[in-house]
Amino acid sequence: MTSEFTVAVHGLVFLAHKKTVFSSQALAKNVCTNPARIRKVMSKLKNAHLVETKEGAEGGYWFSGDTRKITLKMVADSLQVSFVNSSWKSGGDCEDCLIASGMADVMTDLYSQLDQGCRDQLDKITIAQIEERIFKKV
Q: Band the pLDDT of 56: cuts 50, 70, 90.
A: confident
* Short-list 13, 94, 17, 26, CA closest to 54: 26
CA dist 96 to 3, 55, 109, 116, Å?
A: 40, 60, 21, 32
pLDDT at 49 over 90: yes
Query: What CATH number is associated with residue 109?
Result: 1.10.10.10
Report the SS3 class of residue 22.
strand
Query: Contact at 8 Å (CB) between 28 and 34?
Result: yes
Report the SS3 class of residue 53.
strand
Higher pLDDT, 138 or 98: 98
Higher pLDDT, 135 or 126: 126
Calculate what percentage of the chain has a pLDDT beyond 90: 75
How many distinct structural domains can be found in the chain? Answer: 1
Beta strands 60-62 and 52-54 are antiparallel
Residue range 20-40, pLDDT digits in tens:
999 999 999 999 999 999 999
What range does the domain containing 123 cover? 4-136
**Beta bridge partner(s), residue 22:** 61
Local structure of residue 2 (DSSP, 8 states): -
Local structure of residue 66 (DSSP, 8 states): -
